[in-house]
Amino acid sequence: MRKDELLNAAEELLAEQGAPCLTLSAVAERAGVSKGGLLYHFSTKEALVKGMIERLVADFDELVASQQESSYSRAYLAATFVAIRSGRLRRWAVVTGAAGDPGLLAPLREAMARWHREGMETESDPTAAQIVRLACEGLWDVTTHDPGFYGEAHYEELHRRLLALLASP
Partner DNA sequence: AGAACTGTACCGTCCAGCCGGTATAGTAAC
Partner DNA sequence: GTTACTATACCGGCTGGACGGTACAGTTCT
Nearer to DNA, 4 or 62 (CB): 4
For residue 112, the minimal CB distance to a second copy (Å) is 5
DSSP state letter for 118: T
DSSP state letter for 160: H
Nearer to a second copy, 4 or 110 (CB): 110
What is the contact surface with a second copy in residues (CB under 8 A)?
17-21, 96, 99-102, 105, 108-109, 112-113, 116, 127-128, 130-131, 133-142, 145-146, 149, 157-158, 161-162, 165
Count residues near DNA (CB under 7 A).
Answer: 23
Site string for DNA, 5-44 (x = CB under 7 A): ---------------xxxxxxx-x---xxxxxxxxxx-xx
| 96 in Cβ contact with 14 (< 8 Å) | yes
SS3 144: helix
Long-range contacts formed by 156-163: CB under 8 A, 24+ apart: 159/77, 159/81, 162/77, 162/132, 162/135, 162/136, 163/74, 163/77
For residue 161, the minimal CB distance to a second copy (Å) is 5
Nearer to a second copy, 17 or 25 (CB): 17
For residue 29, the minimal CB distance to DNA (Å) is 10
For residue 139, the minimal CB distance to a second copy (Å) is 6
| Alpha-carbon separation of residue 131 from 77, 143, 163 (angstroms) | 11, 18, 11
CA angle 102, 140, 131 (to 5 degrees): 95
